[in-house]
Amino acid sequence: MSIRNLVIFTERFPYYGGEQFLELEIEYLANKFEKIILVPRIASGNVRKLPQNVFISSFSPRLSLYEILSAIFDKNFILEAVKHWKAVSSPKGAYRLFNFTVYGKRIQRWIGRLSPEIVNSAYFYSYWMSHAAIGVAWAKKSEPKLSFITRGHGWDVYSHIHNPPYLPFRSLIFDSADRIYPISQAGLNYICERNFVLPDKIKVARLGVAKSRHLTKRSDDGVFRIVSCSSMITLKRIEIIIRIISQLSQRREFSKKIIWTHFGDGPLHDELVSLANRLFTNQIECVFTGNVKNAEVLKFYTENPVDIFINTSSSEGIPVSIMEAQAFGIPVMATNVGGVSEIVDENNGFLLDIDFEIEEAVQNFIKISSDSFLMDNLRRGSFAMWASHYDAANNYEDFYHDIVSLVT
């Protein structure tokens, strides 16, 4: 039986509030498959507009007592707890194992209710190497012909960033998946250095963004415009951006007005706004947009000059936000974490050590803001990086053909 359908397990997509970068990939894959079923772990809020052949299957937002008890007494849960008893002995480690198990069992049961015809005519694609990947792996034990693929990004690949440094059921996923697709070479190297994975089971599959209609202009009115885009959570370290901009404005050699626009929201919103109000002078105009649709970010790049994009996160896969900036020819300054060094280099911006000094970032801002020749070169380099590595049309076409090759 030919495989003509695709089941994609997500965290929230197509509901607003996360994974907006999946929108373009869904549009592309919808033209390749007869039918796509999206299965979000969390289903709440407004739904994005979807192609006509894309459908949603969602779960109850609450776990039942049966689900909780069956996870705690599950044989796999117990064996995993024994195997990783040091990690699970901490409350955070124990909760992580429970959380991955209970939602993994949900996915396993959901697949178990599907007809053999559906199971045999679909690829089962876990967008994250976490809850759903575990559930599909368990389902494959009773359905060996099930076609199972998973991506790996950042938090779901790099176990060392967690406290404790543990991600449950790694070997189960690696053994069961027909192919594992880290989005970066750094992710692939990390997995292979720490686990036994057959070389033909793992392959880099980069994400991508669409070509922009035109390149963003740089400022020519005496203003230095900075953009950042991320959730307002501890991992993203937005407070460092605030301190960098504050110190930049205090330098004698820097006299320009600064406009900083941040796209994104999160639990640290009030704290970060308060810090900015306390540290920023009248020389700085700060715009916190909150959560906006991805189209609004792209519209901003189309209609406004931007001089540099900044990301100071302590952990990443390869940020789609950087790809989007580069598609518009915007230089980037970012921390060298995860696969970021695969997208940011001296030809398109500035790569910072994870524990960089604020002074280094300040000097980079001063350098690019005062040297139009450098800025123009970095702008050309940014667009060239997008064109050669992160063009969605190329990357998702390659991804599709690689998936299809698994059963031909």
- Does residue 83 surpass a pLDDT of 90? yes
Q: Is 269 a member of any domain?
A: yes
Token code pair at residue 79: 């064996």
| CA distance linking residue 231 with residue 263, whole number of Å | 8
Together in a domain, 256 and 204 = no
Q: Is 304 a member of any domain?
A: yes
Please report, for the chain, how many H helices and E strands are present, in that order: 16, 12
Over residues 174-183, mean pLDDT = 97
Residue 175, domain CATH = 3.40.50.2000
Find all residues with CB under 8 Å of 369, minimum gap 6, and list them: 224, 254, 256, 307, 375
Over residues 386-393, mean pLDDT = 97
Together in a domain, 169 and 251 = no
Residue 408 banded pLDDT, cuts 50, 70, 90: low
Q: Is 213 a member of any domain?
A: no
Q: Is 216 a member of any domain?
A: no
pLDDT, tens digit (0-9, with 9 covering 90-100), for 199-247: 999 999 999 999 998 899 999 999 999 999 999 999 999 999 999 999 9
Together in a domain, 246 and 105 = no
User: Total domain count for the chain?
Assistant: 2
Residue 293 banded pLDDT, cuts 50, 70, 90: confident
Q: Is 215 a member of any domain?
A: no
Which domain, by its residues, includes 307?
223-389
Q: Is 399 a member of any domain?
A: yes
Laid out side by side, the sheet with 332-335 consists of 284-290, 257-263, 223-229, 308-311, 332-335, 349-352
**Percentage of residues of the chain with pLDDT beyond 70:** 99
- Per-residue pLDDT, 2: 64
Over residues 16-43, mean pLDDT = 92
**Percentage of residues of the chain with pLDDT beyond 90:** 90
Together in a domain, 375 and 334 = yes
Beta-bridge mates of residue 152: 182
Together in a domain, 191 and 278 = no
Q: Is 192 a member of any domain?
A: yes
Together in a domain, 350 and 256 = yes
Q: Is 151 a member of any domain?
A: yes
381 vs 405: which has the higher pLDDT? 381
Together in a domain, 49 and 84 = yes
Together in a domain, 254 and 318 = yes
Together in a domain, 154 and 294 = no
Together in a domain, 282 and 312 = yes
Together in a domain, 166 and 300 = no
Find all residues with CB under 8 Å of 130, minimum gap 6, and list them: 100, 156, 167
Together in a domain, 238 and 269 = yes
